[in-house]
Amino acid sequence: MSLKKVAVAGATGVVGRQMLRVLEDRNFPVASLKLLASERSKGKTLTFKGEEVAVEVLSEDSFKGVDIALFSAGGGTSKKYAPFAAKDGCVVVDNSSAWRMDPEVPLVVPEVNPGDIAKHKGIIANPNCSTIQLVVVLKPLHDAATIKRIVVSTYQAVSGAGSAALAELDAQMRDCLEGRPVQCKIFPHQIAFNCIPQIPQSGAFEDNGYTNEEMKMVNETKKIMGDNSIMVTATTVRVPVHTGHSECVNVETLKKLTADQARELLRKAPGVVVQDDPANQLYPLAVNAQGKYDTFVGRIREDLSHPSALEMWVVADNLLKGAALNAVQIAELL
């Protein structure tokens, strides 16, 4: 790969910092690096390959001469600034929900639909974290047996809501253990020692009773898989885990797959690690997925209630494969 001039917008956030880590870990060919954030981050520095890089204030002119920009600065910021970057000849890989369902913008998971990258017009969307790990596992099953219906329930880590949410979880844990009343500023209810069936934490519910996050999984899965006939239903839940999303997935296929056949397909799938030995208590765990680039799958079994359906448990680091890693993989394909 030739050297590229790279920018990271939202560099000081949780995902932005992971993007820097992944660029460094994967030895992405960076000719120069521009770190961008809001005015409140002006004057900060971040370390990249042993050197301190100053954070600049994001503006309409930030992308002149930049080849690739990784955005993780929120949907409003992406809507405002990504078009300026594209106009200046920079290709944006955007981690927000701003462009995901735009028919002119490819929504890409490199293990699933890498060819869609070629359709870009300056902006490529990074899918929702919970969708990414789901489709990485579904793709080989769909290719082999044609998926008809997906029922997914998620157990999503607090880091998906940002650094302030992590601080709230930690504070509530301490308060609970020390007998003090908890303070809820980020989440609508106590998250410590609790599960909240509402993501995001505000303005979440749509008229059909599903949350924004659940509808993202429904719509994004169909777009990435390139098959609108797949029926998808989702329930998304925030759990008191720092990092690592877990999912219980039920998949109905047109052609029956046995559990052994599914395991064999998944063992060969790129980016997937099968951990499925329940007799020895081996199955994916969020604490073990943290910091890993792979998506882990286990508890694969045939659905007792349906002649052609499978149950499985899927886990991945939501900050890496669910965000930063997937974005950098897209940049690598570019």
pLDDT digits (tens, 9 = 90+) for 259-294: 999 999 999 999 999 999 999 999 999 999 999 999
Residues of the chain within CATH 3.40.50.720 domain(s) are 4-127+324-333
Q: Which residues pair with 110 in a beta bridge?
A: none
Give the residue numbers annotated as catalytic, written as ranges.
129, 245
Burial degree of 109 (CB within 10 A; 0-12, 13-18, 19+): buried
pLDDT value for 238? 98
Q: Is the pLDDT of residue 202 over 90?
A: no
Of the chain, the percentage scoring pLDDT greater than 90 comes to: 96
Distance CA 134, CA 174 (A): 33
Mean pLDDT confidence for 151-157: 98
Average pLDDT, the chain: 96
Amino acid at 241: V
Closest C-alpha to 8, from 76, 64, 56 = 56
Element (H, E) at 55: strand 51-57
Contact (CB, 8 A) for 162 and 169:
no
Q: What number of CA atoms fall less than 13 Å from residue 234's CA on the CB side?
A: 26
Mean pLDDT confidence for 28-42: 94
**Ordered DSSP codes for 256-318:** ---HHHHHHHHHTSTTEEE--BGGGTB---HHHHTT-SSEEEEEEEE-TT-TTEEEEEEEE-T
pLDDT value for 126? 97
Q: Is the pLDDT of residue 43 over 90?
A: no
pLDDT value for 79? 96
Sheet with 51-57: list strands edge to edge.
45-48, 51-57, 30-37, 4-9, 68-71, 91-94, 123-125
pLDDT value for 22? 97
Domain covering 131-318 assigned CATH 3.30.360.10 in the classification: yes
Distance CA 163, CA 159 (A): 7
Q: Could you report the per-residue pLDDT of 67-116, keeping only the tens digit for each?
A: 999 999 989 999 999 999 999 999 999 999 999 999 999 999 999 999 99
Q: How does residue 6 score in pLDDT terms, banded at 50, 70 and 90? A: very high
Contact (CB, 8 A) for 71 and 93:
yes
Q: How does residue 240 score in pLDDT terms, banded at 50, 70 and 90? A: very high
Residues of the chain within CATH 3.30.360.10 domain(s) are 131-318
**Ordered DSSP codes for 150-161:** EEEEEEE-GGGG
pLDDT value for 203? 84
Mean pLDDT confidence for 149-167: 96
Distance CA 142, CA 139 (A): 5
Q: How does residue 1 score in pLDDT terms, banded at 50, 70 and 90? A: low
* 3-state SS, residue 74: coil
Tokens of 78: 């992406």
**Domain covering 4-127+324-333 in this structure, CATH number:** 3.40.50.720
Mean pLDDT confidence for 158-171: 96
